[in-house]
Structure 1
Amino acid sequence: MPLPLPEFHDDKRVGTLYLERAALVTDEARRYALAHQVKPAREDRLRIAAFGIDVQVAFCQPEASLFVPGAVEDSQRTLRWLYANLDRITGLVFSLDTHRVFQVFHPAWWQDAEGRNPPPMTVITSADIRSGKWRPTRYAEESRAYCERLEATGKYVLTVWPYHALLGGLSHALLPAMMEASLFHSVARDAQTRFEVKGEEPLTENYSVLSPEVTELPGRKVGKFNQELFDHLLTFDRVYVFGQAKSHCVLSTLMDLRKHIEATDRSKMGRIHILEDAMSPVPAPPLDPLPPGLDFPRVANEAMRTFREAGMKVVRTTDPLAP
């Protein structure tokens, strides 16, 4: 039987900014756990993780610079699912995309011949750098090598994003309504939420929570696979994945999960459950013709099909949790 929503939760506030109400939420969590006989998470026989990818103001608040259309509704559905299944969700894991002004995918990193920075959604290829169309403002050799190695992966070409998820700014924070759910779960189930910071290395993109797009550049290591997080996730019997964006950070994280499960123990692939109605793709840029790799909704939908074929389960927040 699904649990009721806590009294403080209001769907209409999910897409708004406010200071999380820690005292109110945690006080209600104690009363709620007692009233509904919610047991501590450590007593769960079937251990379930809710894995939220970049559910941050930067992507989920309509006024943010990199808002993903659909993210508010995704978050509303996710929160209803979290509260309804609070007594069965053992642990929460959230990633936090974390950036600074000077990173390879931000405008300040690049200039044209007149010294102008590229506008957001500009695509910069290694050919553009060789021709002088765009030049890096720092780390010239490494920046060129990064674009070459990124293109060689066949997944992405470098896209200049708006400044987003800046450390110290409001857009870096977890969406307030999601933060309240984290607080509520922590107290009601006596379980600490796990937060994973990603994306601080300036010379690589970190779509996946588990690894950057490029790990090595000439004379410089810029990242590695997060084995500790992977091992932690696979201690759970089920991992329900949600967040933003379906075409980028969620997709890349799922690709890493699939790759490393295939390399270690394929029998664990079915532990990964993708909440398909709790994520949305980045819209395709207004290019004509549109390169296939930049048709982000198509890329996301195609990826979901391959994940299902690999053995992951694609589900919805309205599906009851199986015993």
Structure 2
Amino acid sequence: MPLPMPRFHEDSLAGQLYLERGATVAEEARRYAAEHRLRPAREDSVRIAAFGIDVQVAFCTPGASLFVPGAVEDTQRTLRWLYGGLDRLTELVFSLDTHRAFQIFHPAWWQDAEGRPPPPLSVITAGDVRAGRWRPTRHPEESLAYCERLEASGRYVLTIWPYHALLGGLSHALVPAMYEASLFHALVRDTPTWFELKGEHPLTENYSVLAPEVTEVRGQKVGEFNTRLFEHLMSFDRVYVFGQAKSHCVLSTLMDLRQHIERTDRSKMGRIFILEDAMSPVPAPPLDPLPPALDFPRVADAALRTLREAGMRVVRTQDVLEP
């Protein structure tokens, strides 16, 4: 049977901004652990990680610049799942998309012939840069090389995103209700939450938590595969993945997990459990015709099918979390 919700939890808070209630959460954690006789996570015989990808205000709170439709409901389902399985979840791992104003996917990096920045969700190709339709405001040679390398990868083309997850701003923070869950889990199970920052280098996008889209530009190293995090995740018997967005950061992370599991130990593919009802795709941009690569919901659904075929498990939050 799932554990009951803690007394401070309210579904309606999942999409709201508020100051985390540290003292209230801590008091409830002491009472809850004693009442349900919960043991420290270090005593778990089966080690299970809950891996939350970019469950941040930027993507999960209505009104944020990159709010993903469906994210509030995803957060509500995830919180019920986290609390219900608190006694079996050994560790919570959260990534935090972390950006600054001047990055290659933000409007300030580019301008047209009149000096105007591109509107959000503009697509900039290497051909656009060579033709002068969009001009970088800094690092011109590297910017063109980046677009070329990104397109050659076959995963994405450069999309200009609204300013989001800016370090020091409110949108960078974990959703308050999710942060309270992380604090509650830490105190009840006597184990710290693992936080992983990603996305700070100005010359590359970092959808995946494990690696940037491009790691080298004109001989300059701009990122590398996060071996430390990968090995940490693979130390668990099961890893449940959730977060935003299904079509971008979650998908890219899962693809990197698949690739590196195949390279190291294919038998571990079944350790990855994808919580399909705890993530939503970015809506497709209003383009006609719509390039197939920008039909984000379709791309995400097709990718999940290939990941299932590769051996990952696709599950839902209401499924029983087995011990």
- TM-score grouping bracket, smaller chain normalisation: over 0.9
Q: Distance in 2 between matches of 1:105 and 1:302?
A: 25
Task: Specify the code of the residue in structure 2 equivalent to 1:322.
Answer: E
- Alpha-carbon displacement from aligned partner over 1:55-109 (angstroms, at most 9, x marks no partner): 0000000010000000000000000000000000000000000000000000000
The aligned runs of 1:259-274 (5 Å cut-off) are 259-274=259-274
CA shift for structure 1 position 200:
0.2
Q: Give the Cα–Cα distance (whole angstroms) in 2 for the partners of residues 246 and 41 of structure 1.
A: 29
For residue 166 of structure 2, what is the amino acid of its counterpart? L
TM-superposed CA distance for 1:26, in Å, is: 1.1
**Structure 1 match to 2:99:** 99
CA distance in 2, matches of 1:86, 1:25: 14
- Supply the distance in 1 between the matched residues of 2:11 and 2:149 (Cα, whole angstroms): 43
**2:124 equivalent in structure 1:** 124
Paired residue secondary structure (2:102): coil
Runs of 4+ in 1 over 3 A off after TM superposition: none
What's the counterpart of residue 144 of structure 2? 144
Q: Which residue in 2 is equivalent to 1:75?
A: 75
Paired residues, what number?
323
Structure 1 residues 179-218: aligned runs within 5 Å: 179-218=179-218
Amino acid at match of 1:200: E
Q: Partner letter of residue 3 of structure 2?
A: L
Q: Secondary structure at the match of 1:293?
A: helix
Q: Scaled by the length of structure 2, what TM-score is found?
A: 1.00
Which amino acid letter does the alignment assign opposite residue 278 of structure 2? A
Q: Shift in Å at residue 27 of structure 1?
A: 1.2
1:273 offset after TM fit, Å?
0.1
The answer for unaligned runs of 5 or more in structure 2 is none
Q: What is the Cα deviation at residue 322 of structure 1? A: 2.4
Q: Distance in 2 between matches of 1:279 and 1:170?
A: 21
In 1, distance between residues paired with 2:148 and 2:23? 50
1:282-322 Cα distance to aligned partner (Å, 9 max, x none)? 00000000000000000000000000000000000000012
Secondary structure in structure 2 of the residue aligned to 1:274: strand
Residue type matched to 1:93 in 2? V
Instruction: Give 1:212 shift.
Output: 0.1
Determine the structure 1 residue equivalent to 2:27: 27
Distance in 1 between the 2:264 and 2:133 partners?
44
Deviations 1:201-255 (A, max 9, x none): 0000000000000000113100000000000000000000000000000000000
Cα distance in 2 for partners of 1:32, 1:319 equals 23
**Aligned-partner Cα distance in 1 for 2:37–2:284:** 47
* 2:223 aligned counterpart, secondary structure: coil
Q: 1:108-128 deviations in whole A, cap 9, x for unaligned?
A: 000000000000000000000
2:164 alignment counterpart: 164
Q: Gaps (5+ residues) in structure 1?
A: none
Secondary structure in structure 2 of the residue aligned to 1:103: coil
Q: Determine the C-alpha separation between the residues in 1 that align with 2:191 and 2:26.
A: 13
Name the residue aligned to 1:8.
8
Quote the RMSD (CA, aligned, Å). 0.4
Matching of residues 252-263 of structure 1 within 5 Å: 252-263=252-263
What amino acid sits opposite 2:305 in the alignment? R
**Alpha-carbon distance between aligned partners in 1 of 2:313 and 2:142, rounded to the nearest angstrom:** 39
TM-score, structure 1 normalization = 1.00
Taking the aligned partners of 1:297 and 1:36, their CA distance within structure 2 comes to 41
1:49 equivalent in structure 2? 49
Give 1:18's aligned amino acid.
Y
Alpha-carbon offset, residue 272 of structure 1: 0.1
Shift of 1:177: 0.1
Q: Does 1:287 pair with 2:287?
A: yes
- Equivalent position SS for 1:120: coil
What is the rounded CA distance, in whole Å, between the counterparts of 2:271 and 2:119 in structure 1?
Answer: 41
